[in-house]
Amino acid sequence: MTEKATRQVAPALKAEILAEALPYIQRFFDKTIVIKYGGNAMTDPQLKDCFARDVVLLKLVGMNPVVVHGGGPQIESLLQRVGKKGEFIQGMRVTDAETMDLVEMVLGGQVNKEIVNLINQHGGKAVGLTGKDAGFIRARKLLMQKKDAPPGDVIDVGQVGQITGIDPSLISFLDKGDFIPVIAPIGVGEGGETYNINADVVAGKLAEILHAEKLVLLTNTPGVLDENGKLLTGLTPREIDELVANGTLSGGMLPKIGSALDAARSGVQSVHVIDGRVEHCLLLEILTDHGVGTMIKSK
């Protein structure tokens, strides 16, 4: 709904909408909600503004939003400008040393600070971080198993990281000060190495470590779709396993779904894969009866 359309809504309907949100505000008060921010919601000016407003509102009504962002389109744009071609294997970006420098520049600098600025413009107190800050996201080199190959037959995708640990104390400290953490998915190795980590993976693991009530993953699709392209609004981990096994879910959706499953099985009450192309999708999913995607329940 655009700002103009919102202004045209009758006062009684506005009151009804606000009243509908009350039980959700009560239920999720003081709960942590980890949000993976990416896709069109990061590139469309109106959607960016809606996202920032949603995050500030969630904070103001007593929830603890933690934002983890991607930056694929912005990384691709910079790679093209320097004459490099992006490459993905099983949904992971191949990251050589030069690409890692560019990724860190985009994620830790350009994109992170833009999100922080947007949230702050709408009255929030956002703080930008990477996993290097206080060393709170520790990682090691990820070696990916080749499909249908013997164990140990791996693919080297460069400086792509696998999370070995997350120290939640920094995030907890910021939450208590009413700050909104905005996290770029960059980890640090034992020897100070920099690792590019899939943002969905970071969001999922962070939701587990923080014992989040919800993990919300913004996508460029209506949610999880079946083989006929129909939206599946509610799924269990077992049903997700079946969709992966039969090939319905593949490519870039695999890290997202893998993170969702791990989080759901590790105590996160619900995981939501929602359509980030819908204005105010966060509020619709969290504060109303009308979801805009797929919910994966923990059981």
Residue 161 annotated in ligand binding: no
Token pair for residue 147?
């499909």
DSSP letters along 12-23, please? HHHHHHHHHHHH
Tell me: the pLDDT tens digits for 68-98?
999 888 898 898 898 888 788 777 788 889 9
Range 3-297: architecture per CATH: 3-Layer(aba) Sandwich (3.40)
Residue 27 annotated in ligand binding: no
Tell me: the pLDDT tens digits for 127-177?
999 999 999 999 999 887 776 666 667 888 889 999 999 999 999 999 989
**Successive 10-residue mean pLDDT values, the chain, 299 residues:** 56 80 92 91 90 96 96 89 83 86 93 96 96 95 75 81 94 93 96 93 94 92 79 80 78 75 85 89 85 76
At position 134, the amino acid (one-letter code) is A
Residue 251 annotated in ligand binding: no
Token pair for residue 30?
């003081």
The candidate with the shortest Cα–Cα distance to 43, out of 82, 75, 81, is: 75
Widest pairwise Cα distance in the chain:
64
Beta bridge partners of 254: none
Domain boundaries along the sequence of the chain:
3-297
Per-residue pLDDT at 225: 79
Per-residue pLDDT at 266: 84
Strand ranges in the chain using DSSP code E only, listed in sequence order = 32-37, 64-69, 88-89, 92-93, 126-130, 137-145, 154-166, 180-184, 186-188, 194-196, 214-219, 234-235, 270-275, 293-297
126-130 sheet: strands from edge to edge: 126-130, 180-184, 64-69, 32-37, 214-219, 270-275, 293-297, 234-235
Q: How far apart are CA 109 and CA 24, in angstroms?
A: 35
Per-residue pLDDT at 153: 73
Token pair for residue 31?
């709960």
Residue 189 annotated in ligand binding: no
